[in-house]
């Protein structure tokens, strides 16, 4: 388990990063989102992946609807998170109309209803690529999430249940990328962190 000092450091950094992102204008968020999205579309790992999960962004995250559209237009299988209690699953999104019809949660993000039957990524062959949100990252792939452990737990399940580790790409504003972030032994490292100034 994470030590008390690491937990405290994580919580302090979460507050700091949230304040930093809150200072960004909607125009700036849109500008950086477009750059990050273009970089993503050029990545061989994205182009070759057929089974991709993408988060549906909150107001302080890189905008992902253009990615959802691109996945669907290119006939890739698109999976999105469904959070139920302490568990996150990735379930299939079938079309743009399907996206439009999704209910909105208390987190102000769209999500399939808890009781709706949908194809589950892990039980139907796993994922090639997971696009990961977060509050802060290092260039080397250390990640600070929102503290619920959803993605770390899910990545662990992917490896255990499908015997393959999906490639992971974090999408970030440049303000979220730091020299170091506090981590513990349960935190997965991200393969590539994409932001405006990243080399990728």
Question: Is 157 known as a binding-site position?
Answer: no
Distance (Å, rounded) from C-alpha 48 to C-alpha 155? 20
Question: Is 173 known as a binding-site position?
Answer: no
Distance (Å, rounded) from C-alpha 50 to C-alpha 48? 7
Per DSSP (E only), the strands in the chain are 51-53, 77-84, 87-93, 129-132, 136-138, 143-144, 167-171, 177-178, 192-194
Question: Is 141 known as a binding-site position?
Answer: no
Question: Is 56 known as a binding-site position?
Answer: yes
Assigned token pair, 182: 């506090």
Question: Is 170 known as a binding-site position?
Answer: no
Question: Is 83 known as a binding-site position?
Answer: no
Cα dihedral sign for 70, 125, 88, 96? positive
Question: Is 147 known as a binding-site position?
Answer: yes
Question: Is 13 known as a binding-site position?
Answer: yes
User: Under a CB-based contact definition with an 8 Å cutoff, are residues 106 and 112 in contact?
Assistant: no
User: Under a CB-based contact definition with an 8 Å cutoff, are residues 193 and 62 in contact?
Assistant: no
Question: Is 10 known as a binding-site position?
Answer: yes
Per DSSP (E only), the strands in 11-164 are 51-53, 77-84, 87-93, 129-132, 136-138, 143-144
Question: Is 195 known as a binding-site position?
Answer: no
- Burial class from Cβ neighbours inside 10 Å (0-12, 13-18, 19+) for residue 3 reads exposed
Question: Is 150 known as a binding-site position?
Answer: yes
Question: Is 2 known as a binding-site position?
Answer: no
Residues annotated as binding site? 10-14, 56, 61, 143-151
Residues annotated within the binding site for ATP are 10-14, 143-151
Binding site per annotation, positions for substrate:
56, 61
């Amino acid at each position: 388990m994470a030590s008390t000092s690491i937990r405290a450091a994580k919580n302090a950094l979460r507050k700091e990063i949230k304040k930093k992102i809150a200072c960004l204008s909607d125009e700036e968020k849109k500008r950086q989102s477009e750059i990050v999205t273009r970089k993503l579309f050029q990545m061989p790992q994205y182009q070759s992946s057929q089974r991709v999960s993408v988060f549906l962004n909150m107001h302080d995250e890189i905008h992902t609807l253009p990615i959802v559209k691109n996945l669907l237009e290119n006939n890739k299988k698109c999976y999105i998170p469904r959070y139920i209690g302490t568990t996150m699953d990735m379930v299939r999104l079938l079309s743009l109309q399907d996206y439009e019809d999704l209910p909105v949660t208390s987190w102000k993000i769209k999500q399939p209803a808890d009781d709706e039957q949908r194809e589950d990524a892990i039980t139907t062959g796993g994922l090639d690529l997971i696009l990961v949100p977060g509050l802060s990252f290092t260039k080397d792939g250390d990640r600070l999430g929102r503290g619920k452990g959803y993605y770390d737990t899910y990545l662990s399940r992917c490896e255990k249940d499908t015997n393959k580790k999906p490639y992971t790409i974090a999408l970030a504003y440049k303000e979220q990328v730091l020299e170091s972030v506090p981590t513990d032994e349960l935190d997965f490292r991200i393969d590539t962190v994409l932001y405006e100034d990243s080399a990728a």
